[in-house]
């Protein structure tokens, strides 16, 4: 919850008034997240959320993360309570 609160606060700080915006595609964001994690490296959870996209970007990215978790394509890793949350590609057989 704290990680999502931080992401939402960062997005709110970057919020601006835009008359016409290009829509954000969930499918496109799914592909972007997978491509970012393809190298096998750990990525800090909040780094997947582009601050310049505001709340809509946060929502689309979070939905993409949830879908990828559901499909077991990625996993979230946290070493301890209140430690940073990391995202990585799903490693079958590891938990």
Q: Which two tokens stand for residue 20?
A: 């016409």
Decide if pLDDT at 17 tops 70: no
DSSP letter for each residue of 18-83: -SS-PPPPHHHHHHHHHHHHTT---EEGGGGS-GGGHHHHHHHHHHHHHHHHHTTSEEEEESSTTS
The pLDDT of 1-18, averaged and rounded, is 73
pLDDT in tens, 26-66: 999 999 999 999 877 889 999 999 888 888 889 999 999 99
Q: pLDDT band for position 14 (50/70/90)?
A: low
């Amino acid at each position: 919850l704290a990680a999502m609160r931080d992401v939402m606060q960062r997005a709110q700080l970057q919020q601006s008034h835009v008359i016409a915006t290009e829509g954000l595609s969930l499918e496109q964001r799914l592909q972007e997240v997978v491509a970012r994690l393809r190298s096998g490296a750990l990525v800090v959870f909040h780094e997947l959320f582009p601050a310049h996209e505001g709340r809509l970007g946060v929502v689309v990215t979070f939905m993409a993360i949830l879908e990828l978790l559901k499909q077991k394509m990625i996993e979230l890793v946290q070493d301890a309570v209140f430690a940073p949350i990391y995202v990585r590609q799903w490693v079958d057989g590891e938990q």
